[in-house]
Each structure stands twice: as structure tokens, then as C-alpha cells.
């Protein structure tokens, strides 16, 4: 159920199975290997996934993964084995952060651009994917653009609901 680590005095490696585009995203942000610490969401999530109980390691053949280096002190305090279910949660958190970074990138571009927004959104999504070296095999441009459109529709609906609350006329004595 988990990824086994070898006990010695050297820093330990944890391989977190992830989708290929998430591996490229984290590699661009943190480098090929991430040194686990308690000062970031990724480090805290990995520490939370550690256990002192033995977990049978899962095979990672033909699967992409992100490498994390665990200092010996963290291994002693939190364990040498990673729980698979919690590693899956790390992948889900990373995907959520990736999508939010994409949405923020497009929002910033929309604010800076004077041209029609719909024309440029596809270009901006392509630019974001190119920056993180994500190709069509990892994540299709159309898929990322479709996710963006769904997100924009969802946020518009929330905004409309909020505005409707303020549109109702409230008598002055109730204010």
C-alpha cells in the first residue's frame, strides 16, 4: 500500500506517482528533485503521507513520478514508508494548484490585453503549457482550454448570483 524507503544515514527518495504534465509542472517549479521541508504545502503533504508502519511498495513501471528527497531527521520523526492513498491526495492537490495557476495566468493576461478576450484565450493556454514544457501527449491543448471555459462559466454563475442579492431593493429602515 505504500512506497518503501531504505533505512540508512543518507537522505531518502520518495517517488510520487503523478500524471506526466503534473511532473513537468513541479519540475519547472522545484527542479528535478524536491527537498522536503515543513515550509511548503508540498513538503507538509509528503510528511503527512509518511508512516512508520510497513507498507508494501507499489510497482511504478511505465508510470511517471516526481522525486522528493527526505532528510534523515524527517524520516526518523515521521517514518520511512509512504502511504499510497495519501500520495494520491498529493497528486490531486497538485492538479488543483496547476489548474488554478492556469486560470490565474489567463486572468492576468485578460486584464493586460485590450483585444477581445475569447480570441486570445486559446493562445494564452498554449503559452502556459509551452512554458512548463507540457506537450500534446501529456495534456491536450483542447482539454486545458475546455477546463478553462468550464471554470469561467462557473465563476460567472457565482458572480451573477451575488449580484442578484444586491439588486433587490431593501427599504432604508432595514439597513
Q: What tens digit of pLDDT does each residue of 106-126 get?
A: 988 888 887 666 778 899 999
- Residues 89 and 91: their CA atoms lie apart, in Å, by 5
- Residues 107 and 116: their CA atoms lie apart, in Å, by 13
pLDDT of residue 164: 57
Cβ-Cβ contacts under 8 Å for 147 (sequence gap 6 or more)? 99, 102
Q: What tens digit of pLDDT does each residue of 1-29 get?
A: 455 554 556 678 888 999 999 999 999 99
Q: What tens digit of pLDDT does each residue of 34-86 get?
A: 999 999 999 999 999 998 888 777 777 778 999 999 998 888 899 888 888 99
pLDDT of residue 6: 47
Q: Please give the grid coordinates belonging to residue 109.
A: 493576461
Residue 134's pLDDT band (cuts 50, 70, 90): very high
What's the whole-model pTM score?
0.80
Amino acid at each position: 500500500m505504500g512506497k518503501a524507503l531504505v533505512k540508512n544515514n543518507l537522505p531518502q527518495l520518495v517517488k510520487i506517482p503523478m500524471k506526466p504534465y503534473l511532473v513537468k509542472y513541479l519540475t519547472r517549479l522545484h527542479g528535478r528533485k524536491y527537498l522536503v521541508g515543513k515550509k511548503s504545502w508540498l513538503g507538509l503533504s509528503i510528511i503527512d503521507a509518511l508512516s512508520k508502519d510497513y507498507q508494501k511498495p507499489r510497482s511504478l513501471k511505465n508510470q511517471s513520478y516526481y522525486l522528493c528527497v527526505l532528510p534523515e531527521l524527517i524520516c526518523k520523526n515521521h517514518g520511512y514508508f509512504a502511504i499510497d492513498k495519501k500520495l494520491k491526495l498529493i497528486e490531486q492537490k497538485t492538479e488543483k494548484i496547476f489548474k488554478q495557476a492556469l486560470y490565474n495566468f489567463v486572468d492576468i493576461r485578460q486584464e493586460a490585453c485590450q483585444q477581445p478576450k475569447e480570441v486570445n484565450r486559446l493562445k494564452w493556454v498554449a503559452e502556459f503549457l509551452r512554458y512548463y514544457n507540457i506537450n500534446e501527449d501529456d495534456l491536450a491543448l483542447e482539454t486545458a482550454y475546455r477546463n478553462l471555459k468550464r471554470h469561467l462559466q462557473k465563476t460567472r454563475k457565482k458572480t451573477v448570483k451575488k449580484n442578484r442579492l444586491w439588486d433587490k431593493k431593501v427599504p432604508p429602515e432595514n439597513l
